[in-house]
């Protein structure tokens, strides 16, 4: 397949370490993909779904001990501990290599080594990068074939370059005690053992496109972010692009594919999806910030996805999709999850493969759910009805606004604009959100998750903040404007006040109007908040007082928030950029 010496040498090392019985190069061809699907069905790794209703769709169940990213077992292995920083687990690279090689040694015996050369970003684009993953899991191969660009051309583009990311995945015994997801940014290397779950094993995704790429971006002057990218077309046919960072399971896929409310659709507003999870951004020749989506598919949260909440995501899953840990409706061999529709299947298997008793289903008790709360679909981006025509172009789209957000029941208003780039970096650095099922551990606990990158930043987060500040200096007055949104304010009964989903378009319109200097705002201690009359409530069952309520900046809550930010900042010690310290002081002064 290739004569690249760095590739051949690494593969020889891997073969010697892992001792596979067979070696298979993955070329992205239809024939090979078909053979692998058939093989996975034979071994039980995949279940073939109803091919009339869901052509080329399959179901996979992971080991119940292996259903989400494992942040406590994720490591950044840099030679200096300080380079991993206070928010990452760190281990000395030599020690970690030895430990992982001992775990992986001989683990492919009796198995096949699949070699996947892939491109993150359109093949050959100046913004794209290449990786090679070896794995012993057909499920991983089939997912990588959807999520990344796998093609013979990838190796042609690589030529004899050494600029590619090594990825070793071995399922081993799927032993949670020996599960490790490790990154060696100084060596462009990732090693993942004892897992078979998405974010832990599809090494092009979080491991490469965020942890390794964020490190590369720091060294090379660009940015790898946990952001969706969408294009908003106005009735004049102009498209403006927004990139938004929300923590896992906080609404990126939904926002990226939103369908505007009817009254806006009638006027001619449209949303185009460029990406739903990751953005790579560089300063373009005209000095603006340009973004590409390095992925080729969507690894989306299934529960809650339905025709109303996210029609485009649901459509995307109707062919060529792999479902993981959803329920199987035995009546017609299709899939089901909580929130898909109100027809609880009567004859179904839950995500573990056990008969599911709909009569015992209790929304509040996750253990009675048919689908795992972090069950996912892996769907080809090309299936998406609103995929942007820019998606396959390598040049990237110019970003007008960057939006941060998270789940905050009480604190952050529906939307506000930062005062300038520096203040926007402060807003991102102080971001917090209630935890979700996307990572193992407690759910619903507020934690600081700067720029939604807490689990994904491949280097010292204080250096990452400084990198953001530096990017702002380079962008100058061409920098995107920075905003913060919160779709998740709750009332006294704990219900979400804002309708969310398609109606979030009303907020996006205000954001773009602000970018164009067309909308008014009220200055507060935290930034510019909309005048209630500037959020269009046409056709919404919401009164002005309710809207005003979710736009309020409560001084008492924010004073507590400022104290918590101060606490959060202490972790970074002297490395915290002075600009951010000043920003915090400004906030405190503004709240007095």
Interface positions with ligand SPV (CB under 6 A): 69, 198-199, 205-206, 248, 277, 299, 438
Which token pair is 534?
A: 């500037």
Binding piece for Mn ion, criterion CB under 5 A, among 114-122, 248-256, 491-499, 548-556 = 248-256
Assess 311 for contact with ligand GTP (CB under 6 A).
Answer: no
Q: Which of 367, 405, 571 is nearest to 487 (CA)?
A: 405
Q: Which is nearer to ligand SPV, 345 or 405 (CB)?
A: 405
Give the range of 28-36, 143-151, 266-274, 297-305 binding ligand GTP by CB under 6 A. Answer: 297-305
Q: State the SS3 of 117-178.
A: EEEECCCCCCCCEEEEEEECCHHHHHHHHHHCEECHHHHHHHCCCCCEEEEEEECCCCCHHH
Q: Which among Mn ion, ligand SPV, ligand GTP, none contacts residue 198 (Cβ within 5 to 8 A by kind)? A: ligand SPV
- Cβ neighbourhood burial of 359 (10 Å; 0-12, 13-18, 19+): exposed
Describe the crossing of helices 555-570 and 578-591 by its angle, rounded to 10 degrees. Answer: 160
Check binding of 222 to ligand GTP (CB under 6 A): no
- Take residue 322 and report the two structure tokens written for it: 């792999």
The interface mask with ligand GTP, positions 438-457, x = CB under 6 A, is x-------------------
Q: Do residues 451 and 563 lie in contact, with contact meaning Cβ atoms separated by under 8 Å?
A: no
- 420's contact among ligand SPV, ligand GTP, Mn ion, none, with CB below 5 to 8 A by partner kind, is none
Shortest distance in whole angstroms from residue 307 CB to ligand GTP: 13
The binder of 500, among ligand SPV, ligand GTP, Mn ion, none, by C-beta within 5 to 8 A per type, is: ligand GTP
- Catalytic annotation, pick one of 250, 384, 386, 411: 250
Tally Cβ neighbours within 10 Å of residue 22. 10
Q: Is 317 in the site for ligand GTP (CB under 6 A)?
A: no
277 binds Mn ion (CB under 5 A): yes
Closer of 546 and 559 to ligand GTP (Cβ): 546
Nearest alpha carbon to residue 277 among 260, 259, 256? 256
- Any catalytic annotation for residue 250? yes
Closest distance to ligand SPV from the beta carbon of 437 (Å): 9
Beta strand segments in 33-139, E: 47-48, 58-60, 74-76, 89-90, 112-120, 129-135
What is the nearest approach in angstroms of ligand GTP to the Cβ of residue 378?
A: 11
Rounded to whole angstroms, the Cα distance separating 213 from 211 reads 6
Stretch 229-258: interaction string toward ligand GTP, x if CB under 6 A: -----------------x-xxxxxxx----
Sign, CA torsion 215/219/225/231 = negative
Q: Does 329 bind Mn ion (CB under 5 A)?
A: no
Q: Tokens in use for 415? A: 């939307």
When asked if residue 333 is in the footprint of ligand GTP (CB under 6 A), the reply is no
Residues at the interface with Mn ion (CB under 5 A): 248, 277
Q: Which residues are catalytic?
A: 250
Residues at the interface with ligand GTP (CB under 6 A): 246, 248-254, 276-277, 300-301, 303-304, 309, 438, 487-488, 496, 500-501, 504
């Amino acid at each position: 397949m290739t004569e690249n010496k760095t590739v051949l040498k690494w593969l020889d090392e891997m073969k010697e370490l892992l001792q596979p019985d067979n070696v298979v190069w993955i070329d992205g061809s239809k024939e090979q993909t078909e053979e692998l699907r058939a093989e996975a069905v034979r071994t039980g790794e995949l279940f073939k779904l109803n091919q009339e209703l869901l052509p080329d769709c399959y179901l996979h169940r992971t080991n119940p001990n292996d259903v989400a990213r494992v942040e406590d077992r994720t490591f950044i292995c840099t030679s200096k501990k300080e380079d991993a920083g206070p928010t990452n687990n760190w281990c000395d690279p030599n020690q970690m290599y030895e430990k992982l090689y001992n775990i992986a040694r001989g683990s492919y015996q009796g198995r096949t080594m699949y070699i996947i050369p892939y491109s993150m970003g359109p093949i050959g684009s100046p913004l794209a990068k290449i990786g090679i993953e070896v794995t012993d899991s057909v499920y991983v191969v089939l997912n990588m074939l959807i999520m990344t660009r796998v093609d013979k051309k990838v190796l042609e583009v690589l030529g004899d370059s050494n600029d590619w990311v090594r990825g070793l995945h071995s399922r081993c015994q799927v032993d949670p005690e020996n599960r490790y997801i490790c990154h060696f940014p100084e060596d462009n290397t990732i090693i993942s053992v004892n897992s078979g779950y998405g974010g832990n094993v599809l090494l092009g995704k979080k491991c490469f496109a965020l942890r390794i790429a964020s490190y590369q971006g720091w060294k090379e002057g660009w940015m790898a972010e946990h952001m969706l990218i969408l294009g908003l077309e106005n009735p004049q046919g102009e498209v403006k692009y927004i990139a938004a960072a929300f923590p896992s399971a906080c609404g990126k896929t939904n926002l990226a594919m939103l369908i505007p409310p009817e009254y806006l659709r009638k006027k001619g507003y449209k949303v185009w999806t460029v990406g739903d999870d990751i953005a790579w951004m560089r300063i373009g020749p005209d000095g603006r910030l340009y973004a590409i989506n390095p992925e080729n598919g969507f690894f989306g949260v299934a529960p809650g996805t339905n025709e109303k909440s996210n029609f485009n995501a649901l459509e995307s899953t109707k062919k060529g999709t792999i479902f993981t840990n959803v329920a199987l409706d035995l009546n017609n061999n299709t899939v089901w999850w909580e929130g898909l529709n109100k027809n609880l299947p009567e004859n179904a298997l839950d995500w573990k493969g056990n008969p599911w008793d709909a009569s015992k289903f209790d929304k509040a008790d996750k253990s009675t759910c048919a689908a795992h709360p972090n069950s996912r679909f892996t769907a080809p981006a090309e299936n998406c009805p609103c995929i942007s025509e820019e998606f396959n172009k390598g040049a990237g789209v110019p970003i007008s606004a960057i939006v941060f957000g998270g789940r905050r029941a009480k604190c952050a208003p529906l939307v506000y604009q930062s005062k300038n780039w520096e203040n926007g970096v402060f807003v991102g650095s102080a971001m917090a959100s209630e935890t979700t099922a996307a990572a193992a551990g407690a759910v619903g606990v507020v934690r600081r998750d700067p720029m939604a990158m807490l689990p994904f930043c491949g280097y010292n987060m204080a250096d990452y903040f400084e990198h953001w500040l530096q990017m702002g200096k380079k962008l100058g007055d061409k920098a995107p404007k920075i905003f913060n949104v919160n779709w998740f304010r709750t009332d006294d009964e704990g219900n979400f006040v804002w309708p969310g989903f398609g109606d979030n378009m009303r907020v996006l319109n205000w954001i773009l109007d602000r970018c164009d200097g067309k909308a008014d705002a009220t200055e507060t201690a935290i930034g510019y908040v909309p005048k209630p009359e500037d959020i269009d409530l046409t056709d919404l069952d919401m009164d002005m007082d309710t809207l005003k309520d979710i736009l309020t900046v409560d001084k008492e809550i924010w004073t507590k928030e400022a104290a918590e930010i101060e606490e959060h900042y202490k972790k970074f010690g002297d490395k915290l950029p002075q600009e951010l310290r000043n920003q915090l002081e400004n906030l405190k002064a503004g709240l007095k």
